[in-house]
């Protein structure tokens, strides 16, 4: 029997020895099953391929492709060879080969990749002699090495490029020790039953999806829906949970919104009574989405109190959790007071309200504060969230961490507050919009537009025209219905909800607003497109510019 695992290879060997659970890939051609022991054996063959090509211990191995058995084999094989895994983005479609090749070149260069292993259709899109490339389609070698390469808990296991990394990549270091801490923490939050079933569509190149490949402390049947199938019909995610009897799944708020919207249109045959651990992750949770899930999914068997939240980041690891078992707490705060004083005071009757979903309490061994560690803020005072604990990274690869740490405390860049022992995230510091000394979160503007127009989440984005929250307020909405009327309704919604008049309201074609693979809005990327005049409004959607104004102070 293996001792308590301290590195990822030890963790994988333990899973293979246990020989329970496995991985199931629901591909277009039909499902493919890989037991943990079989995956381990095939991964040893991939490790032999890497070593035979000169990419052994310490080599940086970029992995490029969709979720499929090969991705899992090469990821495990990279760890078993002693190499360092570098997940690289694999979009559904490569629309601009030059831009995509440049992005991958930037990421591979910043992470010192020696080789990129991947699917042919992605490798063929890469220009120039970036580094050596290795197609993953060949059958793995078998039998060599007979044992994984010895690694230390302090050795690098992977380097994670934060979502949206392009011109100035931020490559987060994750040691084997930190990966095992992550896996252990996630296992402690999993469903309690002999061999539970989980379902995911999250891409492996994102930490939310990648974690499923090394969080193997507990035997789990892990079912994966390719991201392409999710994009075509998000409701397939929850239908797969119904078919497999899954008790656990996780996804960002925008993905839940899309999946539930599809399920509401065609609910026949879906039974979600099995799903008792349905988590949000990766982005702020929209209160409207929480309520819509209950409305649509409760008649399909979803039990009350089945929703939970995991608040985490690539740099900080798992930070807070609100576990299923009771309804998620939604705090209602005075929006005017929040903008003026950054205090999350209880809402007053008849006044504008911001609703914030609780992220719960810190994971064991994790400390959280708002403000600065040397001067933490009191309850209900909003400030930047700082974290320390065993899951926090020791820095970035080839990039200074100056200003990111205060001792062993990490600044997250998120804004939030504590109330009654629970933590609430209100937005991102670098996305705040400043007007006449008051500070607004873009999420509040976007949600006001969504409620007034019916435009789905991730199809509306708000940002300041200049960095640092300065410049005019720009609201961009993807076309759902008549564009001229949509622009007018969006402008009125922002004025009514927040007392702001946007400088521009642009109605654009669907698919224009940049998002990550998880559907998370990329507001900085949207600002850059706007600055380069790349956000082209539809012909009848132009809305006149107005000077920014604020509701008179009362």
Can you tell me the mean pLDDT for 266-284?
93
470, 514: one domain: yes
Cα–Cα distance, 119 to 137 (Å, whole number) = 7
Tokens of 270: 């879906």
> Given a cut of 70, is residue 553 above it in pLDDT?
no
- Give yes or no for a cis peptide into 145 (omega within 30° of 0): yes
- H or E stretch at 237: helix 235-244
Residue 206 lies inside a defined structural domain of this protein: no
Cα–Cα distance, 178 to 464 (Å, whole number) = 37
Q: What is the CATH number of the domain that holds 168?
A: 3.40.50.12780
64, 122: one domain: yes
Residue 220 lies inside a defined structural domain of this protein: no
The CA-atom distances, in angstroms, between 524 and each of 90, 196, 377, 469 are: 20, 39, 28, 11
Instruction: Give residue 140's pLDDT band: very low, low, confident or very high (50, 70, 90).
Output: low
DSSP tag of 321: E
47, 73: one domain: yes
Residue 202 lies inside a defined structural domain of this protein: no
Residue 526 lies inside a defined structural domain of this protein: yes
282, 385: one domain: yes
Instruction: Give residue 543's pLDDT band: very low, low, confident or very high (50, 70, 90).
Output: very low
Q: What is the rounded end-to-end Cα distance, in angstroms, of the chain?
A: 70
Nearest of 325, 430, 418 to residue 380 by alpha carbon: 418
Q: What's the maximum distance between 2 C-alpha atoms anywhere in the chain?
A: 76
446, 498: one domain: yes
- pLDDT score for 471: 83
Residue-wise pLDDT for 461-476, tens only, equals: 999 998 887 888 999 9
Which residue segment(s) compose the domain that 506 sits in? 433-531
Number of domains in the chain: 3
Handedness of CA 173, 174, 175, 177 (dihedral sign): positive
317, 397: one domain: yes
Residue-wise pLDDT for 178-189, tens only, equals: 999 988 887 765
Compute the mean pLDDT over every residue in the chain, rounded to the nearest whole number: 89
Model-level pTM?
0.89
449, 392: one domain: no
Residue 217 lies inside a defined structural domain of this protein: no
Radius of gyration for the chain, computed over Cα atoms and rounded to the nearest angstrom: 23
130, 254: one domain: no
Residue 398 lies inside a defined structural domain of this protein: yes
Residue 226 lies inside a defined structural domain of this protein: no
Residue 444 lies inside a defined structural domain of this protein: yes
């Amino acid at each position: 029997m293996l001792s308590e695992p301290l590195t990822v290879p030890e963790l994988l060997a333990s899973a293979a020895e246990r020989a329970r659970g496995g991985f199931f890939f629901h591909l277009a051609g039909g499902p493919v099953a890989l037991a943990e022991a079989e995956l381990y054996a095939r991964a040893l063959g991939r490790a032999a391929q890497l070593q035979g090509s000169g990419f052994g211990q310490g080599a940086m191995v970029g992995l490029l492709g969709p979720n499929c058995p090969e991705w899992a084999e090469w990821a495990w094989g990279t760890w078993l060879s002693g190499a360092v895994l570098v997940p690289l983005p694999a979009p559904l479609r490569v629309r601009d080969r030059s831009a995509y090749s440049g992005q991958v070149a930037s990421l591979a260069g910043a992470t010192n990749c020696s080789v990129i292993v991947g699917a042919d259709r992605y490798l063929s899109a890469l220009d120039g002699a970036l580094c050596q490339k290795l197609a993953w389609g060949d059958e793995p070698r078998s039998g060599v090495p007979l044992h994984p390469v010895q690694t230390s808990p302090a050795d690098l296991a992977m380097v994670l490029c934060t979502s949206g990394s392009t011109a100035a990549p931020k490559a987060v270091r994750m040691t084997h020790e930190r990966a095992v801490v992550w896996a252990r923490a996630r296992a402690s939050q999993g469903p309690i039953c002999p061999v539970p079933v989980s379902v995911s569509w999250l891409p492996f190149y994102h930490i939310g999806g990648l974690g499923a490949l090394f969080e193997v402390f507990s035997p789990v049947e892990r079912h994966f829906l390719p991201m392409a199938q999710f994009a075509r019909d998000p409701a397939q995610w929850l239908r797969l949970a119904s078919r497999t009897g899954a008790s656990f799944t996780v996804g960002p708020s925008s993905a839940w919104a899309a999946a539930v919207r599809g399920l509401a249109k065609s609910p026949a045959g879906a039974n979600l009574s099995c799903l008792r651990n349905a988590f949000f992750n990766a982005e702020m949770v929209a209160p409207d989405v929480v309520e819509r899930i209950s409305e649509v999914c409760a008649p399909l068997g979803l039990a009350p109190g089945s929703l939970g939240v995991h608040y985490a980041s690539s740099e900080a690891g798992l930070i807070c959790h609100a576990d299923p078992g009771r309804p998620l707490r939604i705090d209602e705060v005075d929006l005017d007071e929040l903008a003026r004083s950054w205090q999350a005071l209880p809402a007053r009757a008849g006044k504008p309200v911001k609703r914030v979903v609780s992220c719960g309490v810190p994971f064991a061994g994790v400390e959280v504060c708002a403000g600065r560690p040397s001067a933490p803020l009191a309850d209900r005072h909003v400030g930047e969230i700082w974290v320390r604990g065993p899951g926090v990274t020791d820095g970035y690869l080839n990039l200074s961490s100056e200003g990111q740490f205060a001792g062993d405390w990490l600044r997250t860049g998120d804004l939030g507050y504590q109330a009654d022992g629970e933590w609430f995230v209100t937005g991102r510091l670098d996305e705040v919009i400043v007007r006449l000394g008051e500070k607004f979160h873009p999420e509040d503007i976007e949600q006001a537009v969504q409620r007034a127009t019916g435009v789905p989440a991730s199809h509306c984005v708000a940002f300041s025209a200049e960095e640092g929250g300065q410049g005019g307020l720009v609201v961009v909405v993807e076309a759902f219905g008549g564009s001229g009327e949509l622009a007018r309704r969006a402008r009125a919604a922002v004025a009514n909800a927040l007392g702001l008049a946007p400088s521009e309201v642009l109605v654009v074609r669907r698919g224009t607003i940049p998002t990550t693979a998880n559907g998370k809005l990329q507001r900085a990327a949207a600002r850059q497109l706007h600055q380069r005049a790349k956000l082209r409004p539809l012909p009848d959607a132009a809305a006149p510019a107005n000077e920014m104004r604020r509701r008179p102070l009362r």
